[in-house]
A and B are shown apart, each in its own frame.
Chain A
Amino acid sequence: MSVKVLIPTPLQKFTSNQATLECTAANIGELIDALETACPGIKDRLCDDKGQPRRFLNFYVNSEDIRFLDGTGTPLKDGDEVSIVPAVAGG
Chain B
Amino acid sequence: MTQATQTTTHNQEILNGSAFFDALKCKECGAEYEPKAIHVCEYCFGPLEVSYNYDALRRHVTRETIQAGPLSIWRYRPFLPVAGDNLIDVGTGMTPLVKAHRLARRLGIKNLYIKNDAVNMPTLSFKDRVVSVALTRARELGFTTVSCASTGNLANSTAAIAAKAGLDCCVFIPADLEAGKVLGTLVYGPVVMAVEGNYDQVNRLCSEVANTHGWGFVNINLRPYYSEGSKTLGYEVAEQLGWQLPDHVVAPLASGSLFTKIYKGFQEFIKVGLVEDKAVRFSGAQAEGCSPIASAFREGRDFIKPVKPNTIAKSIAIGNPADGVYAVDIAQKTNGNIESVTDPEIIEGIKLLAETEGIFTETAGGTTIAVLKKLVEAGKIDSDETTVVYITGNGLKTQEAVQGDIGAPLTIEAKLDSFERALERSRTLDRLEWQQVLV
Contact = CB atoms under 8 A, between A and B. Distances in A.
A6 B212 CA distance: 10
Interface in B8-45: 28, 38-45
Q: Interface size bucket, A side?
A: 20 to 34
B45 A89 contact: no
Contact of B207 (A55, A68, A88): A88
Interface in A1-36: 6-10, 12, 19
B416 to A, nearest CB: 51
Given A63-B204, A91-B150, A91-B151, A86 B308 contact: no
A89 B305 contact: no
Interface in A37-79: 45, 54-58, 60, 63, 65, 67-68
Contacts of A8: 207, 211
B124 to A, nearest CB: 15
A43 to B, nearest CB: 13
B127, B206, B208: residue with the most chain A Cβ atoms closer than 10 Å: B208
Contact of A89 (B43, B204, B257): B257
B219 A86 contact: no
B207 A86 contact: yes
Nearest to B205: A63
B219 A91 contact: yes
Contacts of A68: 306, 308
A88 B44 contact: no
Given A55-B45, A90-B151, A90-B203, 7 more contacts: A10-B38, A10-B42, A85-B204, A88-B206, A89-B226, A89-B227, A90-B219
B199 A90 contact: yes
B199 A56 contact: no
Interface of B: 28, 38-47, 127, 148-151, 153-154, 197, 199-201, 203-204, 206-208, 210-212, 219-221, 223, 226-227, 254-255, 257, 303, 305-306, 308, 315, 318, 320-323, 325
B45 A90 contact: no
Q: Top 9 nearest A-B pairs by Cβ distance?
A: A90-B255, A87-B322, A56-B45, A86-B40, A90-B318, A85-B207, A89-B255, A10-B42, A89-B257
B208 A83 contact: yes
Interface of A: 6-10, 12, 19, 45, 54-58, 60, 63, 65, 67-68, 83, 85-91
19 contacts: A6-B208, A9-B221, A10-B38, A56-B46, A56-B322, A57-B45, A65-B306, A85-B208, A86-B207, A87-B47, A88-B220, A88-B322, A89-B219, A89-B227, A90-B154, A90-B321, A91-B127, A91-B151, A91-B255
A89 B323 contact: yes
Contacts of B221: 9
Nearest to B210: A9
Nearest to A60: B204
